[in-house]
């Protein structure tokens, strides 16, 4: 539960920052009381400290998600959609630090350093922001998560457009629960956090994809190797336990079966330096560029510098101190699907002035080559084999789906249940989408994370392929 308490801590830090920011604003207003125009303009922008007059936010199809009517922010009439989009849109008081209404406040109010709030006074509103999101997919993801805590993200792996974000727990912005701050049951844990951007998780077996990639890059005869799984295997001065007894097993089958014995031995052979080199080349231990220039992502972390051979064995199966951020991990999957090149993820399509002029239009770009095309192709074949031979194409009918599950133990305490993960994508040319699902405190990934990915990708298919 380390990652959760860390999230809680960062939440408090954010609230403190917000309060400090409010105090600063108040101080500035009081000391600059002569500047009556700005003062009045601020009253116009904020009602009881909340953003009240601002432009619309729309989804990729032009549906209005939030707008201003009679000095109040008005959200979608669908409760499910309001619940689904809470963290992405954010609130008007800045509790949700990464929300569009918080980080793009200046754009929405049309405030510029040069003109102040000129546009607002003249047009009564600021700029409109059109997102890359598909509302239907977001709603499906939220409903599929339901009462469970977790996150879902979907990205177009050719363009980098983020078409779906869901983060739970959430609440209805039109009916915020009164007991959020007093609750002691934990049901609201991290409720202000957008887990997709700000969360970090133990990867569990999803990390075997990266161990496999490192092996393809560094062990020339990896496909000719066989591994012995008797349910546990000695690594360094201890043992790594497997979830099954897989007997003699080759490289691809070992990934299909998610054999801990095979992957712990592969990691031990690779060693700390090679594993860290692969991970750091694809963005671990670095800040991703802020999404659409302003939305900050938590860092994926790996540190094997002081690790024993046994630690490295556990790291190779995703059960060490390594942590992944969902948005970053989704970008890694996108790179595998996209022939090795990682697209730059983005969430804002356009910003339009009150006069209807496009003042910003997203340009697609790439982060760089995470893998060579050859390594990407080999990994792609193994991930396809996982779905075809292990999880079953029935979850993703006619989608040529690729993926990897992970069930991450987060505590030695038997009362604390694991997190379940799934990462994957469709190989179909007309459906270039990658998905990540994280479900906290649950059962196995095949019974929790995969069915959620299945529902979400079926909606993606009906929205983009069968439309
Ligand atoms: Zn095994």
Q: How far is the CA of 197 from the centre of ligand 1 (A)?
A: 33
- The pTM score is 0.89
Q: How far is the CA of 427 from the centre of ligand 1 (A)?
A: 28
CA–CA dist 445, 442 (Å, integer): 8
Q: Does 29 have pLDDT greater than 50?
A: no
The pLDDT assigned to 305 comes to 96
Q: What is the pLDDT of residues 179-226, one digit of tens each?
A: 998 999 999 999 999 999 999 999 999 999 999 999 999 999 999 999
Instruction: Give CA separation, 355 vs 63, 69, 80, 111, 124, in Å.
Output: 19, 18, 32, 15, 11
Q: How far is the CA of 271 from the centre of ligand 1 (A)?
A: 20
Q: How far is the CA of 249 from the centre of ligand 1 (A)?
A: 8
Q: How far is the CA of 191 from the centre of ligand 1 (A)?
A: 37
Q: How far is the CA of 267 from the centre of ligand 1 (A)?
A: 14
In percent, how much of the chain has pLDDT > 70?
A: 87
| 66 close to 174: Cβ distance less than 8 angstroms | no
415 vs 18: which has the higher pLDDT? 415
Region 411-437: what's the mean pLDDT? 94
CA–CA dist 209, 215 (Å, integer): 10
Secondary structure (3-state) at 47 = strand
Q: What is the pLDDT of residues 88-129, one digit of tens each?
A: 999 988 889 899 999 998 899 877 666 666 666 677 678 999
Q: Does 20 have pLDDT greater than 70?
A: no
Q: How far is the CA of 239 from the centre of ligand 1 (A)?
A: 13
Q: How far is the CA of 230 from the centre of ligand 1 (A)?
A: 7
Instruction: Give CA separation, 211 vs 65, 204, 330, in Å.
Output: 41, 12, 16
At 412, the pLDDT band (50, 70, 90 cuts) reads: confident
Region 378-396: what's the mean pLDDT? 98
| 361 close to 129: Cβ distance less than 8 angstroms | no
Backbone conformation region of residue 258, classed left if phi is above 0, alpha if psi is from -120 to 50, else beta: left
Place of tokens 């249940």: 417
Q: How far is the CA of 322 from the centre of ligand 1 (A)?
A: 21
Q: How far is the CA of 262 from the centre of ligand 1 (A)?
A: 7
Q: How far is the CA of 429 from the centre of ligand 1 (A)?
A: 34
Q: How far is the CA of 250 from the centre of ligand 1 (A)?
A: 11
Residue-averaged pLDDT of the chain: 90
Q: How far is the CA of 255 from the centre of ligand 1 (A)?
A: 10
Q: What is the pLDDT of residues 232-276, one digit of tens each?
A: 999 999 999 999 999 999 999 999 999 999 999 999 999 999 999
Q: How far is the CA of 205 from the centre of ligand 1 (A)?
A: 12
CA–CA dist 274, 217 (Å, integer): 9
Q: Does 9 have pLDDT greater than 60?
A: no
Q: How far is the CA of 226 from the centre of ligand 1 (A)?
A: 12
Closest CA to 322 of 307, 298, 301: 301
Q: How far is the CA of 254 from the centre of ligand 1 (A)?
A: 7
Count the Cβ atoms, other than its own, within 10 Å of residue 256: 20
The pLDDT assigned to 30 comes to 36
Closest CA to 425 of 298, 332, 288: 332
Q: How far is the CA of 383 from the centre of ligand 1 (A)?
A: 18
Q: Does 438 have pLDDT greater than 70?
A: yes
């Amino acid at each position: 539960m380390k990652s959760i308490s860390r999230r809680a801590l960062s939440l408090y830090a954010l609230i403190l920052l917000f309060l400090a920011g409010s105090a600063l604003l108040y101080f500035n207003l009081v000391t600059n009381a002569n500047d009556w125009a700005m003062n009045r303009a601020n009253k116009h922008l904020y009602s009881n400290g909340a953003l009240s007059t601002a432009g619309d936010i729309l989804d990729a199809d032009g549906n209005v998600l939030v707008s201003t009517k009679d000095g109040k922010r008005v959200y979608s009439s669908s409760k499910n959609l309001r619940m689904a989009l809470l963290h992405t849109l954010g609130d008007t008081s800045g509790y949700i630090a990464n929300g569009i209404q918080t980080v793009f406040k200046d754009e929405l109010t049309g405030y510029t350093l040069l003109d102040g709030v000129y546009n607002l006074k003249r047009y009564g509103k600021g700029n409109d922001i059109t997102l890359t999101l598909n509302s239907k997919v977001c709603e499906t993801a939220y409903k599929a998560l339901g009462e469970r805590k977790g996150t879902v993200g979907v990205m177009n792996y050719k363009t980098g457009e983020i078409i779906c974000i869901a983060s739970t727990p959430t609440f209805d912005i039109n009916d915020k629960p009164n007991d959020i701050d007093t609750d002691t049951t934990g049901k609201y844990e991290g409720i202000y956090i957008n887990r997709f951007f700000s969360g970090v998780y133990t990867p569990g077996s999803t990390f075997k994809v990266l161990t496999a990639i490192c092996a393809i890059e560094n062990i020339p005869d990896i496909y000719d190797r066989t591994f012995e799984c008797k349910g546990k295997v000695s690594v360094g001065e201890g043992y790594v336990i497997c979830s099954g007894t897989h007997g003699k097993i080759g490289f691809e089958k070992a990934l299909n079966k998610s054999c801990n014995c095979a992957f712990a031995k592969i990691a031990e052979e690779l060693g700390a330096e090679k594993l860290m080199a692969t991970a750091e080349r694809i963005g671990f231990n670095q800040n991703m560029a802020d999404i659409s220039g302003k939305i900050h992502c938590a860092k994926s972390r790996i540190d094997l510098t002081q690790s024993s051979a046994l630690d490295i064995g556990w790291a190779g199966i995703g059960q060490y101190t390594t942590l992944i951020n969902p948005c970053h991990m989704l970008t890694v999957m996108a790179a595998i699907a996209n022939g090795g090149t990682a697209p730059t993820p983005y969430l804002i399509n356009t910003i339009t002035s009150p006069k209807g002029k496009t003042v910003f239009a997203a340009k697609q770009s790439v982060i760089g080559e995470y893998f060579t095309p050859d390594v990407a192709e080999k990994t792609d074949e193994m991930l396809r084999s996982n779905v075809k031979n292990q999880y079953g194409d029935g979850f993703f009918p006619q989608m040529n789906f690729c993926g990897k599950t992970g069930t991450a133990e987060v505590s030695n305490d038997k009362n604390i249940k694991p997190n379940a993960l799934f990462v994957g994508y469709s190989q179909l040319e007309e459906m270039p989408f990658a998905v990540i699902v994280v479900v906290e405190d649950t059962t196995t990934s095949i019974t929790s994370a995969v069915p959620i990915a299945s529902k979400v990708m079926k909606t993606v298919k009906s929205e983009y392929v069968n439309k």
